[in-house]
Structure 1
Amino acid sequence: MIPLFAHAQLRESFADGDFTQDPAWSGDAGSFMVTEQGQLQSSGPAITGTTLQLATSSLAVTGTVWEFWANLKLATSSGNYADVYLLSDGQDLGSSSGYFVRLGGTADEVSLFRKDAGKSPVAIIDGEDKTLGSSTGNVVRVRVSRSVEDIWQLDIDLSGSGQHYARQGSASDATYKCSAFFGVLLRYSSANSQGFFFDDFTITDTEPPLPEALQLISPRELTLRFNEPLQPAQAGEEANFTLNSSLKPLSAELTEANTVRLVFSQNFSGGTNILNIAGLSDLYGNMLKAPVEMPFDFVSPAVLPGYNQLLITEIMADETPALGLPAQEYIELYNPTDQPLSLQGIRFSDATSTATLPDVQLLPQEYAVVVPGTQAENFRGYGKAIGISNFPSLNNSGEVLQLRQPNGTLIYALSYSDTWYKDSNKQSGGWSLEMIDVTNPCAGSSNWAASSDALGGTPGKANSVAAANPDHTPPVLTAVTAVAPTQLLLRFNERLDSAQAAGIANYSLSPVVPITGVEVAGPLFSEVTLQLSEPLQEQRLYTFTASGLTDCSGNLGGPQQLAFALPSAPEPGDVVINEILFNPRPNGVDFVELVNRSEKYIDLWNWQLANTSNDSIANRRLVTPDHHILEPGQYLILTTDRDNIRGNYPAAPENAFLQMSAMPSYTNEAGTVVVLQPDGRVADRFSYDEAMHFELIDDVKGFSLERVRLEGPTQPGNFHSAATQVFATPGYINSQAQEALVSPQLFQVQPLVFSPDGDGYEDFTTINYSTEQTGFVASITIFDAQGREIRRLARNELLAANGFFQWDGLREDGAKASIGYYLFYIELFDLNGQKREYKQNVVVGGRF
């Protein structure tokens, strides 16, 4: 019997007639007795709803077999049953956590349950119903085993002999790995207070302890958790542990019943380490039969990331309609380094809010998705998920995102835009933006694309669009703007090496103006501000040279030159409306073309585009928040979608656009375009009407109205439909443009032969006039070769000093005049009421 007892944590047959010692049972001891037959019997108060319990110490948890005999001399029910606790973390069995076997209950069965403190029991193995169906005596012997792999088995023998066990089921559950007590808990009605009998409680552990978890505490310290309690003396013996075949710990300490803390004299090796464990036994003498190896990986301690050492590699800004992912905005982080990074205290921000990342490590080449804390659980199935509070709301159209160290030092920044999708369907929502090449973090749009994953994104893992996309091109200087007489703003097409770009020697001006200071603007480092020692002169062209600059990827550029001038203060009429498309083709967009007809260089920073409502200027929209210089004679196209305009009008120069985030509404029927200077004065204003289009155009969709004479007034008479061959001329000279005619006569018609066919060549004729003074009134009537009146072009019109009238070859009824000769009959009334008459023949030409 000695070997058997050496492995038995508990053997209680009540043969000594005493349950108060060897082992000692505690609880409701006064409500139990030992019978003459050596059985434990309930003897509590005869009160319905009474609960009795007895418990004794037991630490066995795994690799263990529990056995006992029971006889319930009563009809089991929901109010009459016995729970035999195999594991319990507390002496008060009813309020503790652990596992128990229930005898009886509503189903009159023998089943295994898990008990979570404060919650209802959870069935682990549901035994056969009605096995305890007697109302006078339910004899059963129960055997429960739990393997070291946490597989439970339940067997019962209704003969009570232990010779005829029947399997009730098996299941896996590893919720609880610690125990303090074994015991019984009874619940009964008044008639059954003495109806519970128990005998032959046996707990047998024959398996040695096994390590199940290793946790690194520091580069030289770890804890080792076993599946059951250990013998303290052996667990504290350093000789029983060996690291990487030779290194013994400085100390070994049993910190909990099943946990050992080991401290070594040197750091763990990078990569895989192997801990060898030998000579350990559990509390019941079960010793390891052979040494056990426990491998673990070690990487260098986590560090705070520096510049470009933590990247944003995916952005879900417009999460609806969701394709397969949770409908939630997110960003994805990536560690491109070969060491773990600590994210604790790192600040993630957009333009309006900042969130702080928690104490999380990101391993080398590991991805993690960052979401609001309430959404973290929903993303864990896709990859590593980090939940944060105050998650910034991401703008669908784009904005600047930044990662900074706790002290504010920049780690990474990017300015994304919905144009980065390069796919209008995916741009509308449900798809993320993904970085193509994570080794090229400095690139913008060229290194991002819409996700190609069917779920709409790849949070927490390598991107679906991942591919090699290196940057081998040096930075390009795209603009030089004099934002003040002694200050220049330089713009580059990509991020610069900010430290190298801060050198004054990289920049020069001709004519020479000394540079006294350089500031590279963060967080994107694509703009540089230069301070000059003396002011620039207006309307003087300068040449700026930048040389020896390196981009963020290390590409060195050669000398680059751009011409620029100091902007002058604008006056109304310097910049005018030159063309407008207000009725675009289906799926097209509007545009307004401006032209600088002055000799000044004019900065459009903070200019506005507007319309009118109830004769008041309304719906003002910022043309550009940045400095943008309009040179003398330069055209500029304002629109919300440059690609749309270029797709409809391919001749439009790419560099003639200034894309606005939003434009005022210009209806197809009629409206007013207003251009406002920063000082609030109206630079130009044009009221259009669809009736101004050439009447012989069947469908005016996609046709613009063009200014005829650049120096002429912004009035209907100075605008005409664009030629039918081009429909519109955004960004270049108008198809109907005419040079101003200096007339030596009071009236002069030019051309004398014209063909109103919409081909852009002499589609109309003009009656130009030049008077010595204002105040003249004119009437113009057109007659055909038979002397019949066909059109009244003007009636009692007050003339300016200089100007013109245009005839588009149409009759008064809107029909096209026939090919042939026509007569302009002009009546002029002077200031004294004297009448003068002028006549001029013209020819309407065309093809027969």
Structure 2
Amino acid sequence: MARTDTTVRDGTHVVLVRDPKAFTAAFPSTTFLTPDDWPALNNGGDTVYLRHAPSDTPLDSVPYDPSWGGGDGRSLERIDPGGPSDTDANFASSEAASGATPGTQNSVYAPDETPPSLARAVPSQNGDSITVVFSEPVAPASISPEAFRLDSVDAPAIVTAQIDDGRPAQVRCALGSPLSTGEYRLVATGVADRRGNVRDEDSAPLSYVVADTPAPADVVVSEIMYAPSVASNEFIEVYNRSDKTLDLGALQYADDARSFAPAAPPLTPFRPGQYAVLVRDEEAFAETYPSVEFVAPRGWDALNNGGDTVVLRHAPSGTPLDAVPFAASWGGSDGRSLERIDPRGPSDEASNFASSTAPDGATPGAQNSRFAPDTAPPRPTFAEQVDSLTAAVVFNEPIRGESVRPARFQFEDVAVTQTQVRADSIVRLSLSDRPTGEAVLVAEVQDRVGNRLDRASVPFARRPTPGTLVLNELLFDPRADDFDDRPNQVEYVELRNLTDHTLTLTGLTLTDRPTETGTADTLRVGRRRGLAPGGFAVVAAAPKGAFTPQSSQLAAAFPDAPLDSDSVAYLPVQAPTLGLRNDGDRVRVHRRDTAVVADVAYSPDWHTAGLADPKGTALERISTTAGAEAADNWTSSTASAGGTPGAPNDASLAPPDDAPSAPGLAIRPSPFSIEQDGATRIQYTLSARPSLIRVRIYDARGRRVRTLEEARLAGRSGELVWNGRDDDGNRVRIGPYVVLLEAVQADGGTTTELKETVVVARPLN
């Protein structure tokens, strides 16, 4: 305590010391007082009190803390004598050379002559009050409801205003009614700091949202920068595609690890059609995109450049909003963002995302450069028979499952009993009976964004059965000379549709001759497409991986082949060969259920006798309806390129007329020539079946020149081909020949003989 006769004049300093000797040694010229019973001050923090003893009036108290300053031989100095005693902002370590300024003006002396400024105004969660934050503690006497107002149309009145306990720079203003969604400006008038500096008027904006609860997909991930040029400059753009006003602060985001974090501070309005950009590095983003508004949520985990998942959810309701499981193959790398193409489109389809084409590499906060909303309804592109009572319809885009119903798929002759969506764009149909119609009618199916198909028809491709899809041409020994100035050929197998309806090629495979253990090489050649009536499917080796007809080696070697025609299906196999043996092999065509639909065991001996070198020349089938295993039914192609892939064979016979209705033989053409016709077709009809048949050909003098069949079990009708050669492979002379067919019924021994004359001719020129 000081002596009772010590007077403290206005503007003077009084120094109270604990140890006079030590103080005098440190500050020899400074006058001081030595109170009795001095308590040691706590270095870890303490409070210094002053009071007027006679009246017991408290004068001041300073609850200092080491974090305020001082220590290490330096005093804690007050910055502004008129400023608050209970805030660290008004205290600092002494800057004097001696470490303190006892008895003189403090080294950090800086009287506050600046009135308080309004830093921000924050509405409460339920909108019934506003917390006003000033730059410094304010004087309680200047705080009243009249000192504050909301300068906005239809804004509620402020009914009370009081300083928050323990926060002298914050004022809580209670409202007469809750805020509505909108933008406001809070105005403060005549608010003073504790020094008495008065701010005539100041204001701060605030937003408030009475948030709706979003439904799934109301908010979607619109853009992802996962591999920026500056590694930390990642961002996620989200888009409010609904008509609701939402609270962005109620949304949470996460990556594939599902560690969710708030997307923004609470009560951040997120309006219909608005974009919000969440960034990882504030400084890097602001430098790259200086004019783009953003939020920088805490707890950002770096996105994986090799692929990750961005997830959004509404935290209060737990509603999942969106998830984008992107992969590097989707796009967005080398400093370019991954942009969503259609906000209403699927989030899990690569087709709805692409690399940004914007000059800056991204479009944060704005419409994407790849923005292209889908306004077209889904379209059926292919329909096929899967098995006897199942069909499938393929659409050009993912479809909405709830729009798929049996009644929306109609066949001409059978009913659809059940439907099932597979792989997003394929609908499996269960049928009441085996389908025989030519088309499927589809109506009212919707895509994922809600575009509805009114009505569309798609051709129906039936699965092939034996005799409907035949092997028609083979090139097993292609020309491959890099120095003959001609394009190298590739192995190919040609199939032909003999029906009057479309056949499906889905799931077709080729196998060769099985080994002794029963295994065979298998080539998967089928494609999801139809083969038109009379059309050709060409399975060809594609050694350079060319999967379009125009760029294929097949097209280079056979430039006249109509591989682009609608009647031709090009089926490339990415391999240097198809594995066809030059010394003969077997080619079998299987459906996806492994049933064999076409089969031929070819031999190089089937080439035209006398052909100098069969290399580079295809074997062509003469009659598509005669037996595939008959050597007479195959011949060497006479085309200049060596084959006719995708086109009718040079030596092919025209489709046959109906077989004789009564027992007998029908031979057409007659006369025929090897040069022009290649062969003639022999059709027969028997009176009974089954029968063992033998077919021989005799010249005009009764000499046998050729045996076409020897004791083969046959049905009531059938077809053979004669190529105008004898049993030794030599051409016969021109003139008439007799075809004798003998049939023996296997059970009764009855013999039937049928005879018919055929004329072998030569072209006149």
User: Could you say which TM-score interval applies, normalised by the shorter chain?
Assistant: 0.5 to 0.7
Tell me, yes or no, if the aligned pair for 2:190 and 2:201 is still in contact at 8 Å.
yes
Instruction: Encode CA deviations 1:352-390: one digit per residue, 9 max, x unaligned.
Output: x7857643266543446789x8x9997675565888769
Report the Cα distance in structure 2 between the residues aligned to 1:507 and 1:638, rounded to whole angstroms: 33
Residue of structure 2 equivalent to 1:645: 549
Match of 1:336 among 232, 235, 241: 241
Q: State how far apart, in whole Å, the 2-side matches of 1:612 and 1:563 are.
A: 35
Q: For residues 450 and 216 of structure 2, what CA distance do their matches in structure 1 show?
A: 17
TM-score, structure 2 as length reference: 0.56
CA distance in 1, matches of 2:620, 2:327: 33
Measured at CA, do residues 240 and 446 of structure 1 come closer, stay the same or move farther in structure 2, by a change above 3 Å? Answer: same
Inter-partner Cα distance in structure 2 for 1:376 and 1:800: 91
Residue matched to 1:92: 66
- Asked whether the equivalents of residues 481 and 564 of structure 1 are also in contact (C-alpha less than 8 Å), the reply is yes
- For structure 1, the 5+ residue unaligned runs are 1-10, 21-27, 41-51, 59-87, 104-141, 146-176, 187-193, 755-761, 778-796, 808-821, 827-837
Q: Report the equivalent of 1:310.
A: 219
Report the number of matched residues. 617
The answer (yes or no) to whether the contact 2:619–2:634 under 8 Å persists in 1 is: no
Q: Which residue of 2 aligns with 1:476?
A: 379
2:92 alignment partner, SS class: strand
Supply the distance in 1 between the matched residues of 2:574 and 2:311 (Cα, whole angstroms): 32
Residues 1:208 and 2:115 aligned together = yes
Q: What is residue 368 of structure 2 aligned with on the other side?
A: 463
Q: Does 2:263 match 1:360? A: yes
State the partner residue of 2:146: 239
Once the two structures are TM-superposed, the CA of residue 395 in structure 1 deviates from its matched residue by 7.9
- How many angstroms apart in 1 are the aligned matches of 2:101 and 2:603? 102
Per-residue deviation at 1:276? 0.8
Q: Relative to 1, partners in 2 of residues 1:490 and 1:287: Cα closer, same or farther, differing over 3 Å?
A: same
Code of the aligned partner of 2:652: Q
**1:268 matched to 2:179:** yes
Q: 2: distance between equivalents of 1:369 and 1:203?
A: 42
| In 2: Cα distance, 1:799 partner to 1:31 partner | 137
CA distance in 2, matches of 1:434, 1:571: 50
1:341 to 1:293, Cα distance in 2 relative to 1, 3 A: closer
Does the CA contact (< 8 Å) of 1:271 and 1:299 recur in 2?
yes
| Structure 1 residue 277: Cα displacement | 1.0
Q: Deviations over 1:189-236 (max 9, x none)?
A: xxxxx965645202311111112233444251443332222335645x
Structure 1 residue 392 displacement after superposition: 8.2
Partners of 1:686 and 1:715 within 8 A in 2: no
Displacement of 1:260 in angstroms is 3.3
2: CA distance between counterparts of 1:746 and 1:367? 77
Deviations 1:587-636 (A, max 9, x none): 99999865555799876665557899999756866856xx7676775655
- Map 1:220-235 to 2 at 5 A: 220=127, 221-232=129-140, 234-235=142-143
Partner of 1:35: 27
Among 437, 453, 456, the residue aligned to 1:541: 437
- Mapped contact 2:446–2:452 kept (Cα < 8 A): yes
Looking at structure 2, the residues matched to 718 and 411 of structure 1 have their Cα atoms a distance apart, in angstroms, of 65
Q: Return 5+ residue gaps in structure 2 as ranges.
A: 1-8, 33-41, 49-61, 81-86, 265-269, 481-485, 556-561, 657-664, 685-690, 697-707, 713-718, 734-757
Q: CA deviation at 1:511?
A: 3.4
- Alignment CA distance shift 1:30-1:36 (3 Å): closer
Aligned residue number for residue 182 of structure 1: 92
1:438-587 superposed matches below 5 A: 451-454=356-359, 456-458=361-363, 461-466=366-371, 471=375, 473-481=376-384, 489-494=392-397, 501=403, 506-511=408-413, 513=415, 521=421, 535-537=432-434, 540-541=436-437, 544-547=440-443, 558-562=454-458, 564=460
Q: What SS does structure 2 have at the residue aligned with 1:824?
A: coil
2:111 match: secondary structure: strand
Aligned-pair CA distance for 1:447: 8.2
Cα pair 1:708 1:734 within 8 Å, conserved: no
Q: CA deviation at 1:512?
A: 6.0
Distance 2:88 2:638 in 1: 87
CA distance in 1, matches of 2:514, 2:248: 57
Q: Aligned partners of 2:426 and 2:338: how far apart in 1?
A: 25
What CA distance in whole angstroms lies between the structure 1 residues aligned with 2:219 and 2:578?
50
Q: Which stretch has the larger CA shift, 546-555 or 405-414?
A: 405-414
| Alpha-carbon separation, structure 1, partners of 2:159 and 2:711 | 104
2:193 maps to what in 1? 282
- Secondary structure of the 2:367 match is coil
Distance 1:287 1:344, change over 3 A: closer
Q: Deviations over 1:91-132 (max 9, x none)?
A: 335xx8x899999xxxxxxxxxxxxxxxxxxxxxxxxxxxxx
CA distance in 2, matches of 1:222, 1:714: 94
| Equivalent-residue separation in structure 1 for 2:148 and 2:408 (angstroms) | 63
Shift in CA distance, 91/651, structure 1 to aligned 2, threshold 3 Å: same
The structure-2 alpha-carbon separation of the partners of 1:284 and 1:504, relative to structure 1 and needing over 3 Å to count, comes to: same
Q: Is the 8 A contact 1:567 1:629 kept in 2?
A: no
Secondary structure of 1:291 counterpart: strand
Corresponding position: 1:738 with 2:647:
no
Aligned 1:54-133 pairs, distance under 5 A: 91-92=65-66
Please tell me the residue identity of whatever aligns with 2:564. A
Match of 2:185, SS state, is strand
Aligned to 2:675: 753
Q: For residues 586 and 634 of structure 1, what CA distance do their matches in structure 2 show? A: 26
Looking at structure 2, the residues matched to 376 and 655 of structure 1 have their Cα atoms a distance apart, in angstroms, of 60
Give secondary structure in 2 for the equivalent of 1:212: strand
- 8 Å CA contact 1:241–1:248 kept in 2: the answer is no
Q: Is the 8 A contact 2:344 2:449 kept in 1?
A: no
Code of the aligned partner of 2:675: V
Provide the rounded CA distance (Å) in 1 between the counterparts of 2:206 and 2:488.
Answer: 61
Partner of 1:45: none
Q: Is the 8 A contact 1:508 1:546 kept in 2?
A: yes
Q: Residue 787 of structure 1 aligns with which residue?
A: none
Counterpart of 2:16? Answer: 18
Aligned to 2:744: none
Cα distance in 1 for partners of 2:233, 2:624 equals 53
**Contact preservation (8 Å) 2:549, 2:563:** no
**One-letter amino acid of the structure 1 residue matched with residue 187 of structure 2:** N
Distance 1:576 1:29 in 2: 119
* SS in structure 2 of the partner of residue 239 of structure 1: helix
Could you report, residue by residue, the CA deviation over 1:698-735 in whole angstroms, capped at 9, with x for unpaired residues?
x99xx999877656649999597796699975xx5446
Distance in 2, matches of 1:688 and 1:419, equals: 45
Q: Distance in 1 between matches of 2:47 and 2:387?
A: 86
TM-score (norm 1): 0.52
Q: Name the % identity.
A: 20
SS at match of 1:268: coil
Contact 2:501–2:533 at 8 Å: present in 1 too? yes
Quote the offset at 1:182 in angstroms. 1.9
1:551 to 1:681, Cα distance in 2 relative to 1, 3 A: closer
Give the 3 Å change call, closer, same or farther, for CA 53–344 of structure 1 in structure 2. Answer: closer
- Compute the displacement of 1:286 (Å): 1.8
Given that 2:670 and 2:759 are in contact with CA atoms closer than 8 Å, whether structure 1 keeps it comes out as: no
Partner of residue 748, structure 2: none
SS in 1 for 2:549: helix
Distance 1:327 1:503, change over 3 A: same
For residue 458 of structure 1, report the CA deviation from its aligned partner. 3.8
Query: How far apart in 1 are the matches of 2:547 and 2:512?
Result: 24
